[in-house]
Amino acid sequence: MLRFWTSQNDKYMDNKLKLIFVRENITKSVRKFFEREKFHEVETPVLNSSLPLEPNIHPFATEWKRVKGEKKIYLSTSPEAGLKKMIAAGIGNCFSIGHSFRNLEDAGTLHNPEFLMLEWYREDADYKDIMENCERLVSYLFLKNKEQITENKKTSVKKDVNNRNILTYQNRTISFRRPWQRITMTDLFGKYAGLDLDEIIDDEVLRRKAKEKGYDIKSADWEQLFNQIFLNEIEPKLSPTPHFITDFPSRISPLCKPRKDKPYLAERFEFYLFGMELGNGNSENTDSQLIRSRMKEEMVYRSEKKIDFAPIDELFLAALEKMKSKSWAGIGLGLDRLAMILADTKNIKSLEI
């Protein structure tokens, strides 16, 4: 690796540059992958007058000072709305690499209020197809990064063939070999929390079970209790190997298509690596009326709690209506966390300049 500083901070700067270079390599490789797949790249807006209203996703607000008066605008929380509007216009398979901004999220080594997100959508597809896409893409990025490291070390790629699918992060070594495990949320709750997900979909059942486990149920709603159990009793026990957690409750997945056999579960998954959630994908729910009603419920909730929110994006809902003629599926993938892992760095804030 090239070095540009000669001071006592050399090691820090080298590690910082390593992470920046890894992310640069990732974004270049993402574009090559999707060019080969014949996807269109879309640049989505950062400033928006309205946004899709989703639970637990909170935007940053600012003001546009105009001659005619001030107007409140919001920073993008993801490329989703812009991509779906382009899909409605007929662009077909598409992706975006864009800066996203989220307010009211935890501080720590895995969170930044500004982060780089890759999002893509495929037509005539469902969430199982997107899991397979995600496998192929992330494996491709992993191997391209490994090739770059080998090139920097000026060693032969052939000598590394035995370690082709081996990844080490923070002294833990795993295999990246495909296919990756798929495990349902139902299985996880049964195995690690001793709970039947089919039963705890009911509010009173979950409250009773959570109380038995010692959780404070006085001011917590269903989603908060569900998340507490998952974060405390399940996530710490997840395998470090790459895997997908599937079939999330529909009640916390408003933009995801419900399963036909079990409508209370959604065709949704999250991608995990080394215990970190890197991606969130699903079959797209294009029922604009249902989604509008969910967004209005969220609006009422935030109004009662005095939590700021953006106006509902009407063009986004109109785009969903136009998407009904085909099936669509997509995913948002955090490139900063992936860069952390491939660069063997444990603090996402190393990406700050």
DSSP 248-316: -BGGG-TTBPBPSS-TTBBSEEEEEETTEEEEEEEEBP--HHHHHHHHHHHHHHHHHHT---PPB-HHH
Contact assessment for residue 152 and residue 1, using Cβ atoms and an 8 Å cutoff: yes
Give the residue-averaged pLDDT of 326-347. Answer: 95
For residue 165, what are the CA distances in angstroms to 176, 182, 241, 276? 5, 19, 12, 19
Beta bridge partners of 63: 72
Query: Which pLDDT does position 18 carry in this prediction?
Result: 82
312: nearest Cα among 328, 330, 293: 293
Contact assessment for residue 25 and residue 144, using Cβ atoms and an 8 Å cutoff: yes
> CA 279 to CA 117: how far, in whole Å?
9
Query: Which pLDDT does position 6 carry in this prediction?
Result: 38
**Residue 274 predicted with pLDDT over 90:** yes
Contact assessment for residue 333 and residue 271, using Cβ atoms and an 8 Å cutoff: yes
Residue 192's contacts (CB-CB under 8 Å, 6 or more residues apart) are: 233, 234, 237
Percent of the chain with pLDDT over 90: 82
The structure tokens listed for 11 are 């090691």
Q: Which DSSP symbol is given to 100? A: E
Pairing verdict, β 276-283 and 181-184? unpaired
Contact assessment for residue 247 and residue 259, using Cβ atoms and an 8 Å cutoff: yes
pLDDT tens sequence across 3-49: 333 344 555 556 678 888 999 999 999 999 999 999 999 999 999 99
Query: Which pLDDT does position 157 carry in this prediction?
Result: 44
Instruction: Indicate the helix (H) or strand (E) that contains 37.
Output: none
Q: What is the pTM of this model?
A: 0.92
**Residue 76 predicted with pLDDT over 90:** yes
For residue 112, what are the CA distances in angstroms to 57, 108, 344, 349? 14, 8, 18, 7
> CA 64 to CA 45: how far, in whole Å?
15
Could you tell me the sign of the dihedral formed by the alpha carbons of 153, 158, 161, 164, in that order? positive
Q: Residue 54 CB: number of other CB atoms within 10 A?
A: 18
Domains of the chain with bracketed CATH: 10-177+306-351 (3.30.930.10)
Query: Which pLDDT does position 107 carry in this prediction?
Result: 75
Q: Residue 147 CB: number of other CB atoms within 10 A?
A: 15
When pLDDT is cut at 50, 70 and 90, the band that residue 1 belongs to is: very low
Give the residue-averaged pLDDT of 235-262. Answer: 97
Query: Which pLDDT does position 155 carry in this prediction?
Result: 47
Contact assessment for residue 182 and residue 241, using Cβ atoms and an 8 Å cutoff: no
> CA 266 to CA 250: how far, in whole Å?
5
276: nearest Cα among 111, 154, 77, 52: 111
Query: Which pLDDT does position 109 carry in this prediction?
Result: 87
The structure tokens listed for 277 are 């959630």
Q: Which residue has the higher pLDDT, 353 or 43?
A: 43
When pLDDT is cut at 50, 70 and 90, the band that residue 200 belongs to is: very high
Give the residue-averaged pLDDT of 124-131. Answer: 98
pLDDT tens sequence across 106-121: 778 888 999 999 999 9
For residue 114, what are the CA distances in angstroms to 191, 203, 237? 35, 34, 28
Residue with tokens 């009773």: 208
- Mean pLDDT rounded to a whole number for the chain: 92
When pLDDT is cut at 50, 70 and 90, the band that residue 311 belongs to is: very high
Query: Which pLDDT does position 284 carry in this prediction?
Result: 98
Give the residue-averaged pLDDT of 51-61. Answer: 94
Query: Which pLDDT does position 348 carry in this prediction?
Result: 86
The SS3 assignment for 55 reads coil
Query: Which pLDDT does position 251 carry in this prediction?
Result: 93
Query: Which pLDDT does position 2 carry in this prediction?
Result: 37
Percent of the chain with pLDDT over 70: 92
Q: Which DSSP symbol is given to 317? A: H
